[in-house]
Amino acid sequence: MLKQKVSPESVFLQEKEQELITQLAQMLSRESAQPKLVTSNGEEILLPESVCNILRQAVQAMASNHAVSIVRYNRELTTQQAADILNVSRPFLVKLLDEGAIPCIKVGSHRRIQLKDLIIYREQRKVNRRQGLTELTQFLQEEGFYEAGIHDIAQN
């Protein structure tokens, strides 16, 4: 067995499995064809791309000596669940919903957020942050702030 259950959510790599996990991580990272599962009686099935993505991420994390957990979410989330995923406060999330930054539906007086919409927002937020940091860095370089900081440090 390739896992040791520590809790219902987390799996830690056992020392004796490190070599196997490392080999599996290397194999999955270079495999361009869709992997398949072969059972002990010879049955074969191609792994769906979504399963391959999860497997690659889990194996890579384990090879890097991280614990792995799989978290199941409903396709429809409460505002608190969505806020937890984004690591923001619930009032801040409600503000985003009211501004239309993230689509939501109302069930009675309660808002529900589709998981896919939340993930799209989260990924777009990452892209926007990276772009903003790149622009700021470029501006500071053009204005000579980086050079001045380096020269000041070198002189002291």
Q: Which of 21, 37, 69 is the last residue of a domain?
A: 69
Chain Cα centroid distance, residue 124: 13
| Number of helices followed by number of strands (H, E) in the chain | 6, 8
| 88 lies in the same domain as 146 | yes
Q: Which of 31, 50, 69 is the last residue of a domain?
A: 69
**Contact, 88 vs 77, CB < 8 A?**
no
Chain Cα centroid distance, residue 97: 22
pTM above 0.75, yes or no: no
Per residue of the chain (156 residues), give pLDDT as tens.
Answer: 333 333 456 666 677 788 888 888 888 887 676 788 899 999 999 889 888 888 888 888 888 888 888 877 778 999 999 999 999 999 999 999 999 999 999 989 999 999 999 999 999 999 999 999 999 988 888 888 766 444 444 444
Specify if 156 maps to a domain.
no
Q: How many domains does the chain have?
A: 2
Range of the domain at 49: 4-69
| 119 lies in the same domain as 145 | yes
Specify if 8 maps to a domain.
yes
Q: Which of 12, 46, 69 is the last residue of a domain?
A: 69
**DSSP 3-state assignment of 111?**
strand
- Strand ranges (E), the chain: 4-5, 10-12, 36-38, 44-46, 68-69, 76-77, 105-107, 110-114
d(CA 69, CA 12): 9
